[in-house]
Amino acid sequence: MRPALDFDGTYTEDPELWDGFIAAARSRGHEVLCVTMRHEHEGARVRSRLEGRVDAIVYTGRKAKRPFLEGLGLAIDVWVDDSPHWVNEDATD
């Protein structure tokens, strides 16, 4: 299974909870991605918290998450996001 975990408003609300989830999921063979609508140049905080803990960090640059990942050939099984509309909708800066 490949879950996608949002950063802002999801992971940031309870990092200890999500760190436990990430560790447990990966120990069971799941591939955990952090998928954020941030631009990559805005990712210092994301990298400092999650680099090496998740299998990948994906920055969509304000693009809808699902089509962006599909364009990379990545299918997500479970979306964990406090604002699920961003999975299918682009943001406007």
pLDDT in tens, the chain (93 residues): 999 999 999 999 999 999 999 999 999 999 999 999 999 999 999 999 999 999 999 999 999 999 999 999 999 999 999 999 999 999 987
3-class SS of residue 8: coil
14 and 45 Cβ atoms separated by less than 8 Å = no
Q: What is the CATH number of domain 3-78?
A: 3.40.50.1000
Which sequence spans correspond to the domains of the chain? 3-78
85 and 12 Cβ atoms separated by less than 8 Å = no
CB atoms within 10 A of CB 82: 12
CB atoms within 10 A of CB 66: 19
Question: Is this prediction's pTM over 0.75?
Answer: yes
- Give pLDDT, residue 56: 98
